[in-house]
Amino acid sequence: MFQQALQILQRYYGYDSFRPGQERTIRSILDGNDALGIMPTGGGKSICFQIPALILPGVTLVVSPLISLMKDQIDTLINIGIEATFINSSITSSEVSRRLRKAERGEYKLIYIAPERLELDSFRHLLQTLPISMVAIDEAHCISQWGHDFRPSYRRIAELLAELPQRPRVAAFTATATPEVMKDILSYLGIPAANVVMTGFDRPNLKFSVAKGENKQDYLLSFIGQRKEQAGIIYAATRKDVDSLCELLRKKGIAAGKYHAGLSDLNRKEAQDSFLFDDTRVMVASNAFGMGIDKSNVRYVIHYNMPKNMEAYYQEAGRAGRDGEAGECVLLFSPQDTIIQKFFIEETMLDPERKMNEYRKLQAMVDYCHTTRCLRRYILNYFGEDAPEECGNCGSCSDEVQMTDLTREAQMIFSCIYRMKERFGASIVSQVLKGSRNQKVRQFGFEQLPTYGLMKAYTEKEITDLIHTLSAEGYLALTEGKYPVLKLQPRAARVLKGDELVIQKRRIVVKREEKGDQELFDLLRRLRKEISEREKVPPYVVFPDSTLREMSQALPVDRSGMLSVKGVGEAKFLRYGVLFMELIQEYVDKNN
């Protein structure tokens, strides 16, 4: 059966081999096993259940969290010649029945459903009439109450599995699962730990960087101005920021759209379609946008504010470079971001244990923004994966750096925290070191401490930033909760004794260069855009950027050459091959 899987991969998807992890997952499913696939965004999780679905008898049910995600995947499947459908709140009950009847007759191999449908006893009863051979669960972290996007409806999947006449194979997939979340998923779905396929969380094509102390609007305009033809996403924490940033970009002549929960369903759909079809270059959005959005040619993702936790950040940042081409992920940090996220946590109706867990995750995100170590290593360590000390492609590793000895400043901070009996947070420690005479400092008599005013040459913000950096590097710890308190760690004692130095990096950003024939690449994109408008599908459904980039390098002008390009299968060659070969041939003749 695996040979059949390879033939399907070549015929429909245009690839002659599977990516890391895909083969193991597909083999496991075809051998009759359940599986949990943990693969980074853009790692090709969909193929892991779509190809087995075409081989197995009966129907594969795909539980997917968003209507937009379903539509994207269905459009892509139909475009390559695979019949599939979806069932969600956008269609009538009579249409639901019609689609289920067609599935029963074998006209669909894949049916995508929203998890909320499983809350309807009547719908679960209808599913019992279908020959379901596999249940695939996309964004499986939504099952776990410790995940960053817990969806109670996902918990109904276990009920469905118990009610079906015969338990189908179960294949769950996610890009963001800490060890705690992974354990929760396995336990709930009854998948053996031996059936986990983990390819690693790393996205080598993405460059991560953090910008602190910048004028955010100026940074944004400069960054986008240097990338006018590229598609990008800007995430902001509030609807107000989304509205104002979108307006700013439009005034500067940038084709920008906006997306947040305060817009009508119609406005959100129009904004999303405009972005998917490349009519809008930049999408400014809240975290309501993007889960599973399959737009492959997003070249950068900028977070205008710090997200609430690393899982949310990595999933949102991972929407860059899904085609395997280079992508940039920039986080613009300011202390106000932490205040906003703490407000959001306090506004939730979570029980105390889960609220404390959210604070713990938020602190890990703050530490990421202040660490001077390799950012990629920090991310991978967070997800329980080891990594080299330096990756060579993040804001801490690849840029020119100036090493600064901050041992003396660190000793002042540690001494002050010790003399304040480790009972206060970063803000008041900074005020004491600065020599502030505000009421709280005087109330506790801190102006009498020998460390009072020791760092008066620094601003309070500079002192606070350094405290957060020392926390991120493990010299200090912060207690959990709304008002975290600083605690000295063993490394701080070694610094105070003079046994260890504190070195911090200062960075200068280096610009990335494009590869391939840019002029031909732009012509190919223009042709793709014309086809997408004619067929009313997003451009990346025709061909992703990575395929066009390879065309601009390989210059295929015959059938075998075109079919050797990754992403060009037989169906797409028959549909578009001649048009692209003619354009390439014309370009080759014109430019010798």
135 backbone φψ class: left, alpha, beta (φ>0; ψ -120 to 50): beta
Look up residue 505 and give its two tokens.
């990096």
d(CA 180, CA 191): 15
| pTM score | 0.71
pLDDT score at 514: 47
> 402-508 architecture in CATH?
Orthogonal Bundle (1.10)
Measuring CA to CA, which residue among 454, 368, 370, 443 is closest to residue 417?
454
Q: Per residue, what are the HEC states of 285-350?
A: ECCCCCCCCCCCCEEEEEECCCCCCHHHHHHHHCCCCCCCCCEEEEEEECHHHHHHHHHHHHHCCC
Look up residue 295 and give its two tokens.
């737009």
CA 373 to the chain's CA centroid: 21
- Going from the C-alpha of 218 to that of each of 215, 248, 252, 305, the distances in angstroms are 5, 11, 12, 15
pLDDT score at 134: 96
Measuring CA to CA, which residue among 226, 190, 237 is closest to residue 342?
237
Instruction: Say whether 518-590 and 2-198 share the same fold.
Output: no
Q: Mind listing the pLDDT tens digit for each residue in 528-542?
A: 999 999 988 888 889
Q: Mind listing the pLDDT tens digit for each residue in 131-151?
A: 999 999 998 999 987 777 788
Look up residue 107 and give its two tokens.
């006209």
pLDDT score at 401: 59
pLDDT less than 70: residues of the chain: 68, 290-294, 398-403, 505-516, 592
Residue at 73: amino acid letter: Q
Cβ atoms 200, 387 nearer than 8 A: no
pLDDT score at 190: 92
d(CA 211, CA 209): 7
pLDDT score at 509: 41
Strand-strand pairing, 231-235 and 298-303: parallel
Q: For residue 68, what is the enclosing H or E element?
A: helix 67-79
Cβ atoms 338, 59 nearer than 8 A: no
DSSP 13: I
Cβ atoms 545, 297 nearer than 8 A: yes
DSSP 456: T
Whole-number CA gyration radius for the chain: 26
**Is 206-398 a domain of CATH 3.30.70.260?**
no
d(CA 317, CA 327): 9
pLDDT score at 455: 94
- List, in order, residues 6 or more apart from 91 with CB less than 8 Å away: 99
> 518-590 architecture in CATH?
Orthogonal Bundle (1.10)
The domain limits of the chain are 2-198, 206-398, 402-508, 518-590
d(CA 443, CA 490): 30
Look up residue 387 and give its two tokens.
């990594």
pLDDT score at 290: 63
Identify the CATH number of the domain defined by range 2-198: 3.40.50.300
